[in-house]
Structure 1
């Protein structure tokens, strides 16, 4: 399941709900991305994520489908904020349930790499020097590209 949220997200509540009554899994891996107070030495006071609801969620759903097809997992949840996010607030939450930990870790890593580089979300940071658009870094693109070199799990 994927969701795009305009309101603050609560990773602890999301993880609790995702784990509840799971007797068929051996591992749940989760990741929470937070808004930093600085990027590359530049102070950040706000982060604004622009999205195109409907379209953004459709791409997120495609990424979820790819993740499910590629890894031996039981379930996945990805919740991404849009709108204004304050420093220290959660931006994204991903959880993956699998029979074994390796598949859960790899699927969560893959999904985050894809969300970071392929989900249609436009990011602007605000700080004392004004606002600036944020693009995926070369390292983000390299992280996403490495999956094209790795064979999907059997």
Structure 2
């Protein structure tokens, strides 16, 4: 069976309940679902955040995320997986990303969801600019995100 893998990159907000309902179509409703929702922080490294601007390269970004989902489906018995990632100018407390994974068992659903999120943080081509009272600053990838993603290289 091929797994339904869904990727959306959009400026609009998203409805978590609707996304989970869409994830649970057909056989994907059997077993377990793990989800993750990321939000804009109001403070980052002792800076007050007024907004976060996310840019991407259309087409390339979606293909990159699709590859991450395909890798998760090769590693675990994923029945369905989906990612919605926002771009544009977001304010603290707004949703940035949603990841959902359906599998027949919770261990696989949790692992695949975490794998996808770790790789989104380190491999997906997004550029983030944080705006604070001190001005704008482009954000570099965090070393801790890279360390988390490297653990999957040895599984």
Instruction: Please state if 1:64 is matched with 2:87.
Output: no
The answer on 1:129 being equivalent to 2:134 is yes
Query: Contact 1:3–1:78 at 8 Å: present in 2 too?
Result: yes
Deviation at 1:13, TM superposition (A): 2.3
The answer on whether the counterparts of 1:11 and 1:90 sit within 8 Å (CA) in structure 2 is no
Q: Paired residue for 2:44? A: 39
Moved over 6 A (4+): none
Q: Which residue of 1 aligns with 2:21?
A: 16
Q: TM-score, normalised by structure 2?
A: 0.92
CA distance in 2, matches of 1:108, 1:73: 10
Shift of 1:70: 1.1
TM-score when normalising by structure 1: 0.92
Q: Quick one: structure 1 residues 41 and 2, their matched pair in 2 at CA, closer, same or farther if it must change by over 3 Å?
A: same
What CA distance in whole angstroms lies between the structure 1 residues aligned with 2:142 and 2:44? 11
Q: Is the 2:27–2:79 Cα contact (8 Å) retained in structure 1?
A: no
Q: How much has 1:91 moved relative to structure 2? A: 0.4
> Matches of 2:48 and 2:115 in 1, distance apart?
29
Distance 2:142 2:51 in 1: 19
> Is the 1:10–1:90 contact (alpha carbons within 8 Å) kept by the matching residues of 2?
no
Q: Which residue of 2 aligns with 1:88?
A: 93
Aligned residues between the structures: 150
CA distance in 2 between counterparts of 1:87 and 1:22 reads 36
Residue in structure 2 matched with residue 108 of structure 1 by the alignment? 113
Q: Whole-Å Cα distance in 1 between the matches of residues 98 and 37 of structure 2?
A: 5
CA separation of 1:23 and 1:70: change in aligned 2, threshold 3 A: closer
Q: Quick check: 1:52 aligned with 2:78?
A: no
What displacement does 1:67 show? 1.0
Q: CA RMSD in A?
A: 1.3
